[in-house]
Amino acid sequence: MISAGTLHAISTELVVGMFVLSGFCFLLCMLDKGPEVKANVAHWALLGGLLATPAAIITGVLAAPGEGIENPLLANKLLLSMSAVGLAIGVLLRRRMGAEVDRLHSGMGMVSVGLILFTAGIGGEFARGETLIFFIPKETVFLFPIWVSAIILILGMVILGKSAIQHRG
């Protein structure tokens, strides 16, 4: 039988690989360089990473020692990965609604990728005690106050509304 830790390593590598490919293609889109298929590859890779993310989250929680999310690093990983998932869904929906792949769109895709890579860095800190992300406060859980969450929710609805209006027009 395969352990949850092994499944987590496999699913995490799949997620990180797909998101990195997506981020590289979004960077090419932003720089307006590379082949014409870069936007399609960016979105398909983002979708692939997005589909593999729940498996990485579930196996990560199952592989964690203790009774679930007791460590602040694990709470931060969950928060950041869910933020990346939400942003990735927004990027894919925006594209599906007909938005062009401009600098804003590419930037949102790259932020989603950055959140996943930040999450992976926290995972390295938790599992091995080493990471390239050295500025993480170890015992602090990054939770937004209600007013920040409300602003982000309103901003997301405005972006989706703007995309819907552009799509219909």
Please report, for the chain, the start and end positions of each structural domain, with discontinuous segments joined by +. Answer: 4-140
31 confidence band (pLDDT: 50, 70, 90): very high
**Is 17 exposed, middle or buried, given 0-12, 13-18 or 19+ CB atoms closer than 10 A?**
middle
Question: What percent of the chain lies above the pLDDT cut of 90?
Answer: 41
Model pTM score: 0.81
Query: What integer pLDDT is reported at residue 142 of this predicted model?
Result: 67
CATH of 4-140, one of 1.10.1740, 3.30.160, 1.10.3470, 1.20.120: 1.20.120
